[in-house]
Amino acid sequence: MALPQLISTHKPSLKPNTTALSSLNPNNLNSLSKLSSSLDSLLHSGRQKRRAASLKCSASSFSEKHHNTNHPKSDDVVELPLFPLPLVLFPGAILPLQIFEFRYRIMMHTLLRTDLRFGVIFSDAVSGTAEVGCVGEIIKHERLVDDRFFLICKGQERFRVTNIVRTKPYLVAEVTWLEDRPSGEEDVDALATEVETHMKDVIRLSNRLNGKPEKEAQDLRRNLFPTPFSFFVGSTFEGAPREQQALLELEDTATRLKREKETLRNTLNYLSAASAVKDAFPSS
């Protein structure tokens, strides 16, 4: 399936690189400045006003209201237009897009006359098109020259594709809704707190590596319930879309938080080792 043409202004906030974690190379230290700049966006994600071209996924996007929204029943089957993209959208995340390709401009014209909702689903040349995606709701749009569109979308419910209805002029599928199961005896609130602590430590160490003040990140969780917080954390792993897709597909909040904690812990170990190398070879 050909991928749509687009320009995404959705910038990463945190990029754990599990490949780089397995072996430390002092030459990789130069890339940490880019990581630090990305991590800094987490510290400022609560700003109310920002230019559209630099919109990011922020913790404030994952509101308590989203957690309490009445979701469709998991056994409901509906038809949904799909937009395959080389990225993963999470519930509550903000996604700015520019639409160029003709078939998706047709889709936008249809959506703007109906319910403004479409399915964002991960697709690339290696993995193909995933079966689990997330509804993107258009919350702001602008029609540009040559009938292009600039969209601001917000992630809503997750879904699983059960049947392809048609492929032209754009993909339409029957989907069922996906929700997390109860986590049983797991203390998901405590897990969320541990994940937040690891995120703060990663930010602190990254700042140190780049010669910035080691001030502690303040309240990354922002009173979020564990489930929407786990989606927020997953949305910051934009350097690894396949890992993000795996997190999106999980149907258990505790399992998702544990996997995120492990990724952050590996990232922290890597940054700690990089910091030691920098201290030992300050001129590198």
Q: Are residues 173 and 220 in the same domain?
A: no
4 pLDDT more than 70: no
Q: Are residues 193 and 140 in the same domain?
A: no
Residue of higher predicted confidence among 63 and 108: 108
67 pLDDT more than 70: no
Q: Are residues 227 and 153 in the same domain?
A: no
Per-residue tokens: 240: 């690894």
Mean pLDDT within 69-97? 86
Band of residue 48 on the pLDDT scale cut at 50, 70, 90: very low
Residue of higher predicted confidence among 134 and 38: 134
- Give pLDDT tens digits for 147-191: 999 999 999 999 999 999 999 999 999 999 999 998 888 999 999
Domain boundary among 128, 151, 179: 179
- Does residue 142 fall inside a structural domain? yes
Band of residue 250 on the pLDDT scale cut at 50, 70, 90: very high
Domain boundary among 130, 148, 179: 179
pTM of the predicted protein model? 0.75
Q: Are residues 82 and 135 in the same domain?
A: yes
Distances (CA, A) of 166 to 80, 140, 170, 173: 11, 27, 8, 7
CATH number at residue 92: 2.30.130.40
- Give pLDDT tens digits for 196-205: 999 999 988 8
Q: Are residues 104 and 171 in the same domain?
A: yes
Q: Are residues 165 and 201 in the same domain?
A: no
Q: Are residues 171 and 201 in the same domain?
A: no
Q: Are residues 106 and 171 in the same domain?
A: yes
- Does residue 132 fall inside a structural domain? yes
Domain boundary among 156, 179, 202: 179
16 exposure class (CB count in 10 Å sphere: 0-12, 13-18, 19+): buried
Q: Which domain holds residue 272?
A: 188-279
Per-residue pLDDT at 72: 63
Query: Tokens 């309490």, residue?
Result: 68
- Does residue 28 fall inside a structural domain? no
Longest dimension (CA), the chain: 62
Residues paired with residue 239 on neighbouring β-strands, in sequence order: none
Which residues, other chains included, contact 186 with Cβ-Cβ below 8 Å and sequence gap of 6+?
254
Q: How many CB atoms lie within 10 A of CB 142?
A: 11
